[in-house]
Amino acid sequence: MQAIDWTGHSLRLLDQTKLPATIEWVECHTYQDVAWAIRHMIVRGAPAIGASAAYGLVLAAQGCRHELSPAICQETMVKAAAELRSTRPTAVNLAWAIERMLRAGAGLTGDSLAVRLEQEANAIAMEDVEVNRAIGRFGAELVPNAARILTHCNAGALATVGYGTALGVVRAAVEQGKKVEVFADETRPYLQGSRLTTFELMQDGIPVTLITDSMAGWLMARGGVDLVIVGADRVAANGDVANKIGTYTLAVLAKEHQIPFYVACPLSTLDLSIRSGEEIIIEEREAREVTHVGGVPLAPEATRVWNPAFDVTPARLVTALITEKGLVYPPFDSKLMALR
Ligand code: MRU
């Protein structure tokens, strides 16, 4: 399953706001189209928005391919980078990909800039799938046969360029011949678990059972979960993990029930410039995501709402990080520094 498709002159994105009811693609011809698609969650998931932003910069460079003035071209690139970066604040992969692209294009202009940036965006996309496969291989060691795995949100192929991080671990375990069963948290309010994770796993024939977020504790108490695996949007130098709202609750529950809590984390999700999760900006989204489902109101009109899209799980609740370079156990600080 692939949600991102680069045609050479446009970026096609599988519209994740419409899944699973409708399979529809949105075609982006300009960097502004890509910024709009990221902001409106047509494409979502930390690695997927990073790769999309990279292609957004290719579109910006292609737009000024025939611009004779290097200064004007440079100005466009700076503007495009700023607009793409501002779309969503929490996932560091976005800034990581944009900075990598700007470094790749430094000193170039016109046609050579467009060609070089396209190469770099393709490399980011290709590496993402390789990284996810490596995360899968390392993570699969943690998955016993007949494991019941609880996951939150969607950290699968739809959230990446392909294969997935947390769901990459599930896929790798299945490829190794293990029988696994996944419990997918619904993931209120955006419902990435019920809309996307179930859809993606069912397409692959991997057994998945949907639960609402509030059922996770009781499922654990009944002995129904062997391990939890989630993705990440930004991991601080001390190992604190920002991920989809509700992840922290799961980590606390896992600790109480002595269930291992693993975080699949590509190195592009590491932010070693911040010491702890306290410095992570948590995106707050519009009230309507909480008050409405599919256009139907669930709360009285004008209800006051707080809608943080992410939370921070303290490193002390994380059993291990699963990276493409191997498993990282606490204490995280010096080990994470050594990885980059
Ligand atoms: O708001 P979203 O859907 O972009 O949030 C996605 C998540 O929180 C994922 O768990 C995270 O980005 C990791 S995806 C490999």
Map out the domains of the chain as residue ranges.
4-132, 141-339
Which pLDDT belongs to residue 67? 82
Equal fold, 4-132 vs 141-339: no
Q: Which of 4, 44, 249, 271 to mutate to test the pocket of ligand 1 (most atoms within 8 A of CB)?
A: 44
Per CATH, domain 141-339 is 3.40.50.10470 = yes
**How many other CB atoms are there within 10 angstroms of residue 234's CB atom?**
29
Specify the CATH class of 4-132 in words.
mainly alpha
168 lines ligand 1 (CB under 6 A): no
Show pLDDT as tens, one digit a residue, over the chain (340 residues). Answer: 899 999 999 999 999 999 999 999 999 999 999 999 999 999 999 999 999 999 999 999 999 988 878 899 999 999 999 999 999 999 999 999 999 999 999 999 999 999 999 999 999 999 999 999 999 999 999 999 999 999 999 999 999 999 999 999 999 999 999 999 999 999 999 999 999 999 999 999 999 999 999 999 999 999 999 999 999 999 999 999 999 999 999 999 999 999 999 999 999 999 999 999 999 999 999 999 999 998 999 999 999 999 999 999 999 999 999 999 999 999 999 999 999 7
Which pLDDT belongs to residue 68? 74
**How many other CB atoms are there within 10 angstroms of residue 257's CB atom?**
17
**C-alpha 152 to ligand 1 mean position (Å):** 9
Report the distance separating Cα 59 and Cα 53, nearest Å.
Answer: 10
Burial class of residue 300 in the structure, from the number of CB atoms within 10 Å of its CB (0-12 exposed, 13-18 middle, 19+ buried): exposed
Can you spell out the DSSP letters for 9-70? S-EEEE-TTTTTT---EEEE-SHHHHHHHHHTTSS-SHHHHHHHHHHHHHHHHHHTTT-S-H
pTM for this predicted structure: 0.97
80 lines ligand 1 (CB under 6 A): no
Which pLDDT belongs to residue 340? 75
